[in-house]
Amino acid sequence: MQKVEEHWVCGGLQQVWRHDSHTLNCAMQFAVFVPPQASQAPCPVLYWLSGLTCNEQNFITKAGAQRYAAEHGVVLVAPDTSPRGEGVADDAAWDLGQGAGFYLNATESPWKPHYQMYDYVLNELHALVLASFPVVDKRSVSGHSMGGHGALVLALRNPHAFCSVSAFAPIVAPTQVPWGEKAFSAYLGEDRAAWQQYDAVALINSGHRVKDLLVDQGLGDNFYEEQLKTGLLKTACEQQNLPHTIRLQGGYDHSYYFIATFVGEHIAWHAKHLCQ
């Protein structure tokens, strides 16, 4: 790995690393915040998955999460949102291609050789973090928008791998909204049955479970009704008796101002689960 940058913040180290990914067949960057407690003993890990158009920088520069991770002794890991670079398939639109990996394993050309973000986050990145940083093998996952979708899907499909899951304004039913329909058609083809494995609402309705989940959704979010459809997640959790806390926050939009307001509560919630 190559260290790209490093900064002291809140008594810990915020770093960005670059490595060659064998899963994605390209160079990738990811951010790691190592809290001060890690100098005394290994710490658990919270993965953060960002949304459309983002990379590893958005969360570490806008959320103010390092203060809370330092308080609770949690390592924060924030990968990029897609493979990137020359030779990696892309699209002129902002909601497909580079910056829009949707945390799935693509099966269609020209995306399949690189767009394997589900396997990358679940397996390769975690193995790299375990081998390279002072962490214990206990992890949780959170994310925003497209990244909230990724967090929910990863946790629902791998309940023994993640101690907890939360999300900010997640795309909860991508098979039923324009963002998801566009991305899934390109990455997974036209077989809608194959789409269900990357749809949190569909997974819950088919019996997938987690111990609990926490979701915050702003009511001032321009994407709330058309793209996010939080109510579908609430209904699925209620019908399947899945423990959940879904909070509708009046006035808040889709931005990192919203995330910065509640990220401390999310990190404290994950820390509680990670320490059990």
Ramachandran region, residue 164 (left: φ > 0; alpha: ψ -120 to 50; beta: rest): beta
Q: What pLDDT digit, counting tens, does each position of 45-58 carry?
A: 999 999 999 999 99
Number of domains in the chain: 1
Please give the average per-residue pLDDT across 237-249, as a whole number: 98
Question: Phi and psi for 255 in degrees, rounded to 5?
Answer: -90, 180
Residue 102 and residue 183 in contact, taking contact as beta carbons nearer than 8 Å: yes
Please give the average per-residue pLDDT across 4-23, as a whole number: 98
pLDDT higher than 80, residue 227: yes
pLDDT of residue 168: 98
Q: What pLDDT digit, counting tens, does each position of 103-119 carry?
A: 999 999 999 999 999 99
Percent of the chain with pLDDT over 90: 99
What whole-number distance in Å separates Cα of residue 267 and Cα of residue 166?
Answer: 9
Please give the average per-residue pLDDT across 240-264, as a whole number: 98
pLDDT, mean over the chain: 97
CB neighbour burial string for 75-99, b if at least 16 within 10 angstroms, e if fewer? bbbbbbbbbbeeebbbeeeebbbbb
H/E stretch holding 68: helix 66-72
pLDDT higher than 80, residue 253: yes
Please give the average per-residue pLDDT across 14-40, as a whole number: 98
What whole-number distance in Å separates Cα of residue 52 and Cα of residue 57?
Answer: 13
Q: What pLDDT digit, counting tens, does each position of 67-91 carry?
A: 999 999 999 999 999 999 999 999 9
Give the active site residues: 145, 221, 254
Residue 106's CATH number: 3.40.50.1820
Task: Supply the pTM of this predicted model.
Answer: 0.97
pLDDT of residue 275: 78
What confidence category does residue 180 fall into, taking pLDDT thresholds of 50, 70 and 90?
very high
Residues spanned by the domain of 13: 2-274
Within 10 Å of residue 43's Cβ, how many Cβ atoms? 25
pLDDT higher than 80, residue 276: no
CB neighbour burial string for 102-118, b if at least 16 within 10 angstroms, e if fewer? bbbbbeeeebeebbbbb
pLDDT higher than 80, residue 195: yes
E strand residue ranges, the chain: 2-9, 12-21, 26-34, 43-49, 75-79, 135-143, 162-168, 213-218, 245-249
pLDDT of residue 9: 98
Q: What pLDDT digit, counting tens, does each position of 127-161 carry?
A: 999 999 999 999 999 999 999 999 999 999 999 99
What confidence category does residue 63 fall into, taking pLDDT thresholds of 50, 70 and 90?
very high
